Amino acid sequence: MKTGKEGRVAVLYPGDRAVREQATPDNNRLAAVFHALAAVNLHAEPAVYHDDFCGTVRRQLLKVDAVLVWHNPIQEGRDRTILDPMLRNVADAGIFVSAHPDVILKMGTKAVLYETRMMAWGSDTHLYPSMAAMQRALPERLMQGDARVLKQYRGNGGDGVWKVALVDRSARPRPASRIRVRHAKKGSVEEEISLEAFYRRCEPYFAGEGRIVDQAYQQRLIDGMVRCYLVQDKVVGFGHQAVNALFPAAPGAAPTEAPQPGPRHYHPPSLPAFQRLKERVETDYVPEMQRRLAIPTEHLPILWDCDFLLGPKNAAGDDSYVLCEINASSVAPFPDSAPPFIAKATLAHIHARRQNR
């Protein structure tokens, strides 16, 4: 490890007191990030976080130059209602925090699908701010076409993401109408329940600031999902998953025989197969998203990703891409190509802040 003369960085990730007491740069899933930070002469230290010792972590963060955060929106039954105000307080003290909670709210929740629905990566997407709004609009949308995919405002790991379709579209749905639903959490299978029962399942998603985004199901989901990893506005790697959440069963097979998500394979940003997508992300998608959401480049997260499904081919036979979600709270695992970019961007932020003081 180098001496860290260029500055101090805290790498925040969740854990209990025992994990915090035993934490080193090498005994966690972010070891490659610690090593990359050391390679650019930054001192990197673990900042294991739990709500029970939030004050202790805050005092630690106030002594560093930058904080890199890996913490899911929902972690072991807890949300970020205590963590986020603390991170805002640390940022207000002049310390670089990424991803900043306010930036996550702009681009790292499912609402981004609605806010950017008119972009080239957009699709038929609606926002339900309340249960009453969903009950008014969802039945008609289920009658108009194929399945819908409903997503809770903040979540991870497929939690609160549902594929929903009517069993019978010949009559307007009523609360007792039967629907087929499948949760995107790993291990879930398709069920047939009443529309009313589904509404009850969704009630917790509207608590507090909660809402639901309704997106058209993408028929080319069976062609796989591509994840673009970015450090601020540059693609630094890809992940490709052939079988992903909500993958349907083979024709003629029972719904319960739908395959479970398979492994994601990681690639560097130079992978030839995804160069067209890389160009679109860097020169088209991200700049337009920044304009629509009012996010300057220097505020983009140090590490984030976009998940894309394949949309309809254009007249030239080229694929289009449909945004499935953006992850900005806790992006891991990631390609081996990413950590050096993370370290260089962090160092650049520390230098810029010192120059502006």
CATH number of the domain at 40, please: 3.40.50.20
Does some domain include residue 30? yes
Rounded CA-CA distance 175/169 in Å is: 14
State the first-to-last Cα distance of the chain, in angstroms, to the nearest integer: 28
Whether residues 146 and 86 fall in one domain: no
Query: Helices 83-92 and 54-61: crossing angle, nearest 10°?
Result: 20
Reply yes or no on whether the pLDDT at 286 is more than 60. Answer: yes
Whether residues 229 and 313 fall in one domain: yes
Rounded CA-CA distance 169/145 in Å is: 9
**Which pLDDT score is estimated for 317?**
87
**Which pLDDT score is estimated for 110?**
96
Which tens digit of pLDDT belongs to each residue from 333-347? Answer: 999 999 999 999 999
Whether residues 12 and 73 fall in one domain: yes
Reply yes or no on whether the pLDDT at 1 is more than 60. Answer: no
Residue 163 near residue 184, CB atoms below 8 Å: yes
Range of the domain at 134: 125-217
Rounded CA-CA distance 237/22 in Å is: 31
Q: Which of 188, 217, 246 is the last residue of a domain?
A: 217
Whether residues 194 and 226 fall in one domain: no
Whether residues 77 and 148 fall in one domain: no
Distance, CA of 341 to chain centre: 19
Whether residues 12 and 64 fall in one domain: yes
Whether residues 27 and 53 fall in one domain: yes
Q: Which of 191, 217, 243 is the last residue of a domain?
A: 217
Does some domain include residue 118? no
In this predicted model, which residue has the larger pLDDT, 247 or 66?
66
**Segment 142-152 mean pLDDT:** 92
With tokens 């390679």, the residue in question is 39
Does some domain include residue 119? no
Whichever domain contains 258, its CATH number is 3.30.470
Does some domain include residue 166? yes
Reply yes or no on whether the pLDDT at 257 is more than 70. Answer: yes
**Segment 245-263 mean pLDDT:** 88
Which tens digit of pLDDT belongs to each residue from 299-329? Answer: 999 999 999 999 998 888 889 999 999 999 9
Whether residues 207 and 225 fall in one domain: no
3 band by pLDDT with thresholds 50, 70 and 90: low
Whether residues 225 and 153 fall in one domain: no
Q: What is the amino acid identity at position 179?
A: I
| Least confident span in 265-279, 285-299, 303-317 | 303-317
Does some domain include residue 1? no
Does some domain include residue 344? yes
80 band by pLDDT with thresholds 50, 70 and 90: very high
**Which pLDDT score is estimated for 169?**
87
Whether residues 138 and 166 fall in one domain: yes
Q: Which of 217, 240, 258 is the last residue of a domain?
A: 217
Whether residues 261 and 318 fall in one domain: yes
Whether residues 271 and 199 fall in one domain: no
Total count of domains within the chain: 3
Which tens digit of pLDDT belongs to each residue from 160-191? Answer: 999 999 999 888 899 999 999 999 998 999 99
Residues 240-246: contacts with CB under 8 Å, at least 24 apart: 240/264, 240/265, 240/267, 241/265, 245/158, 245/161, 245/184, 245/185, 245/186, 246/149, 246/161, 246/163, 246/182, 246/184, 246/217, 246/221
**Which pLDDT score is estimated for 156?**
87
234 band by pLDDT with thresholds 50, 70 and 90: very high
Reply yes or no on whether the pLDDT at 2 is more than 60. Answer: no
Does some domain include residue 3? no
User: What is the overall mean pLDDT for the chain?
Assistant: 94
**Which pLDDT score is estimated for 355?**
85
Rounded CA-CA distance 315/318 in Å is: 7
Does some domain include residue 172? yes
